[in-house]
Amino acid sequence: MERSRAKVAVCLLAVLLAGHFMPCRAVEAHKRSRRLWWASVALVVAASVLDVASSRGGVELNPLLRGRNGSFNTGRAVMLKSITMGGMVATEALVLRRSPESARSAAVANIATAGTITGLAIRNLKVQPAEPASR
C-alpha cells in the first residue's frame, strides 16, 4: 500500500512538473511569433512610406491617387494608405487574439506584401517625373 502511494505521488509530481515547464516553451514561441508579426507590420508600413515617397512628382496611373492635373496626390495617398494599413493591422490583431498560433503566417503574408510594395516603389523610382503642368 505504501509503495502504491509513493508511485502515485511520483506520477503526480511528474505530471505537475511537465505541465509547469511545457507551457514555458509554448509561451516563448508565442512571444517570438508575436515579435516577428510586429516586425513584419513595421516592414509593411516602411514599404508604404517608401512607395509614397517614390511616387511624388510623377504621373499617377491609379485614379484614386491622381490629382486634377494627373500627377500624384500625396495627401490623398497618405490618407488611403493609412486607412488600408490601419485596417490590415486591426484585422490581423483581431485574428491573432483568437488564434495566436497564426502570428507566423500573418507575418509571412506581411513580409510578402512589403516585398511587393517595395518592388513597386523601385519601379516608381525608375520612371521619369511628370512634366510641370502648363497653364
* Predicted pLDDT of residue 128: 63
Do 63 and 80 contact (CB within 8 A), yes or no?
no
* Residue 133's pLDDT band (cuts 50, 70, 90): low
DSSP for 62-75 reads -TTTB-TTSBB-HH
Domain ranges of the chain: 28-126
* Residue 67's pLDDT band (cuts 50, 70, 90): confident
Provide the whole-model pTM.
0.72
